[in-house]
Amino acid sequence: MWIQVLLVVGLVAFAFIDLRNGGGGARHQALRRIGLVAFIGLGIFSILFPEWLGWVAGLVGVGRGADLVFYALVVAFLFYVATNHRRFVALDRKLTILARQLALTEAKLHDRHQDDAPAGIDPLPQDTQVNPPDGEPARSAVTRASR
């Protein structure tokens, strides 16, 4: 049947793409590849011998093989969502650190530039860089707060 050819070609193409773009650690990657090869093998087997899938479905109490595939798909999708979410959070974290570093570096360059400028342009530049704790206002703030 044509559908069998199409599905097998599709699965093999997917495996080919996925095996080439593996990420993560060596161990994780190896496990992923083993799992994928097993999955592809099972997939092709089920496409060529659909009765087998029906038999497995009956074994676990599911009516049809197609239903079993559907349920497996739902679980696989949830797994995908979970791993993708984790990856997204990690990426977000990296992006935040990168953007923060960029912003702070830019601010530092800006400050330095102001320090180099002739005095009197900005009333605050020296203070902006280093402002040693000032005794006088500190004490008056204490008396203020103690009222």
Q: How far is the CB of 133 from another protein (least distance, A)?
A: 4
Residue number, 67 or 92, with CB nearest to another protein:
92
- Give the binding site for another protein (CB under 8 A): 92-93, 95-96, 99-100, 102-104, 106-108, 111, 124, 127-134, 137-138, 140-142, 144-146
Q: Smallest gap, in angstroms, from Cβ of residue 59 to another protein?
A: 37
C-beta of 74 vs 109, nearer to another protein: 109
At closest approach, how far in Å is the CB of 49 from another protein?
Answer: 44
CA atoms of 38 and 32, how far apart (whole Å): 10
Q: For residues 28 and 100, which CB has a smaller minimum distance to another protein in the complex? A: 100
CB closer to another protein, 4 vs 105: 105
Residue 129 beta carbon to another protein: minimum distance, rounded to whole angstroms: 7
Q: Which residue has the tokens 């969502």?
A: 81
